[in-house]
Amino acid sequence: MSVACPAVLVAAPASGQGKTTVAAALARLHARAGRRVRAFKCGPDFLDPHWLALATGEPVHNLDLWMTGERDARARLHAAAEQADLIVVEGVMGLFDGEPSAADLAQRFGLPVLAVIDASAMAGTFGALAFGLQHFRSGLPWAGVLANRVASERHAQMLQTSLAGNESSFLGAVMRDTAFTLPERHLGLTVAAELPDAMARLDAAADALATTALGQMDGAALTRWAVRFEAPVPVPEAAPLLAGRTIAVARDAAFCFVYPANLDTLRAQGAELVFFSPLANEPLPACDAAWLPGGYPELHAAALAASDQTQASLRAHLQANRPLWAECGGMMPLFDAIVSSDGAEQATWGVLPGRVVMQKRLAALGPQQLTLPAGTLRGHTFHYSSCESSVQVDRHTESVRGGALGVGEAVYRAGSLRASYFHAWFPSSPAAAASLFLPGDPP
């Protein structure tokens, strides 16, 4: 059965325009008003969902027509529409960037596009950009355009005038203000949980948005963005391949890149999840398998190097031939050392021979898939470091670009340990995901 709910996709002509701030502010504004808001992030991003989750108080899932797939996206949107008064989807990069793009997602599900444009260094060109975004692709659902980082009320008036006959598309101007700037670092936005004033920043952004036409839309006005979401085709439940097994998951500021859907997938297969913090030098809890997710180990290399109890428990875990899956940042401290981009070397855990060297430019970015005997996991890679190691390479992921496949990331294998820069989306193949946490070679 289909269900209708107001929904909007917050997009921009490029990265860095402020769409995360606007999407989170919009969600926070309506959540403060007592409305039930569900938010999603387009693409494979780990960082922006932290801010959207803070704004809504709800888990934030990713939507990507390739990585998560249309059926998964349809199911999550339909489930959200059954519960919510508003659905906010934050786009990725520029509106038409990527294959698939945020525009593809908007058209596939009929999501009206709200374009956020950093207007700090423009006037009349604002109208040209807004016109281009709206009309570049025929049939794109359109909500309107919001000017961001505006200098003054006079500037805002110039921007609205530039729309030349399409002024009704103008949803207001948000003034430039450092009070609600969301800080960034090399992989993207700083994780919300690391900032003691994160909620204050969101509230300041929501207050600024409340002065605009967009922010003044009440529940009745939101119905103009109503979208009817069709129910997905049911699929068989995943077999309980992990029934009776306990999986320990690292979770702290150094290991914070976890898709909530990945945790759900493991639980749906019968696993019990327990969490521990290497930064707090906590040993592995009693478990059958372990997972070191991605994150920012390079920012905490000294503290991780001192985590003797964590290291001892990981070694004992591997000596007992219990599975350990380490992805990207979770893999990095397993090597002998992490070398910063300025050449400083920090000795780390020495579980694997070699070292990880940070770079000032991206080393890899893009969609990937990992084929295992139990199935193919979709996912992506995004890292600023390179790995220098003699450890055995068990296989490679495949890099997916424009429909073509190429050699992707190495998957290292040492006993019961498997590690790679690859970030997996577990729902794409629950059986393959389960095989990472089962003893011996995957079935």
Show the tokens assigned to 185: 């670092």
Mean pLDDT of 334-339: 94
pLDDT at res. 404: 59
Which of 10 and 237 is assigned the larger pLDDT? 10
Confidence of residue 183 (pLDDT cuts 50, 70, 90): low
Mean pLDDT of 305-333: 97
Q: How far from each other are the two terminal CA atoms of the chain, in whole angstroms?
A: 37
Mean pLDDT of 17-27: 95
Q: How far apart are CA 59 and CA 261, in angstroms?
A: 9
pLDDT in tens, 261-281: 999 999 999 999 999 999 999
Mean pLDDT of 135-145: 96
Task: Give strand pairing partners of 169.
Answer: none
Mean pLDDT of 352-364: 86
Q: Is the pLDDT of residue 52 over 80?
A: yes
How high does pLDDT run on average in the chain? 92
pLDDT at res. 176: 87
Distances in whole angstroms, Cα of residue 278 to Cα of each of 93, 180, 284: 33, 31, 9
Q: Is the pLDDT of residue 184 over 80?
A: no
pLDDT at res. 442: 44
What whole-number percentage of the chain has pLDDT above 70? 94
C-beta separation of 15 from 46 below 8 A: no
Q: Is the pLDDT of residue 438 over 80?
A: yes
pLDDT at res. 179: 67
Distances in whole angstroms, Cα of residue 384 to Cα of each of 92, 185, 333, 362, 368: 19, 12, 15, 5, 16
Predicted TM-score (pTM) of this structure: 0.93
Q: For 273, list phi and psi in degrees, rounded to 5.
A: -105, 135
Sign of the torsion angle spanned by Cα atoms 215, 115, 39, 71: positive
pLDDT at res. 344: 87
pLDDT at res. 204: 92
Mean pLDDT of 30-54: 94
Q: Is the pLDDT of residue 51 over 70?
A: yes
Mean pLDDT of 44-49: 90
Confidence of residue 443 (pLDDT cuts 50, 70, 90): very low
Q: Is the pLDDT of residue 187 over 60?
A: no
Confidence of residue 362 (pLDDT cuts 50, 70, 90): confident
Task: Give strand pairing partners of 376.
Answer: 371
Q: How far apart are CA 396 and CA 381, in angstroms?
A: 12
Calculate ∠ Cα 172-29-19, nearest 5°. Answer: 55
> What's the per-residue H, E or C state across the chain?
CCEEEEEEEEECCCCCCCHHHHHHHHHHHHHHCCCCEEEEEECCCCCHHHHHHHHHCCCCEEECHHHHHHHHHHHHHHHHHHHCCEEEEECCCCCCCCCCCHHHHHHHHCCCEEEEEECCCCCCHHHHHHHHHHHCCCCCCEEEEEEEEECCHHHHHHHHHCCCCCHHHEEEEEECCHHHCCCEECCEECCHHHCCCHHHHHHHHHHHHCCCCCCCCCHHHHHHHEEEECCCCCCCCCCCCCCCCEEEEECECCECECCHHHHHHHHHCCCEEEEECCCCCCCCCCCCEEEECECCHHHHHHHHHCCHHHHHHHHHHHHCCCCEEEEHHHCHHHCCEEECCCCCEEECCCCCCCEEEECCCCCEEEEEEEEECCEEEEEEEEECEEEECCCCEEEEEEEEECCEEEEEEEEEEECCEEEECCEEEHHHCHHHHHHCCCCCCCC
Catalytic residues: 328
pLDDT at res. 441: 57
Mean pLDDT of 189-193: 56
Mean pLDDT of 39-46: 94
Residues in the chain: 443
Confidence of residue 359 (pLDDT cuts 50, 70, 90): confident
Q: Is the pLDDT of residue 408 over 90?
A: no
Mean pLDDT of 297-325: 96
Mean pLDDT of 26-34: 97
pLDDT in tens, 193-224: 666 788 888 999 999 999 999 999 999 999 99
Q: How far apart are CA 352 and CA 393, in angstroms?
A: 12
Orientation angle between helical segments 70-83 and 102-109, nearest 10 degrees? 60
pLDDT at res. 182: 64
Show the tokens assigned to 316: 């004992």
* Cis-peptide into 100, omega within 30 deg: yes
Confidence of residue 232 (pLDDT cuts 50, 70, 90): confident
Sorted by where each starts, the structural domains of the chain and their CATH numbers stand as 3-229 (3.40.50.300), 246-435 (3.40.50.880)
pLDDT at res. 65: 96
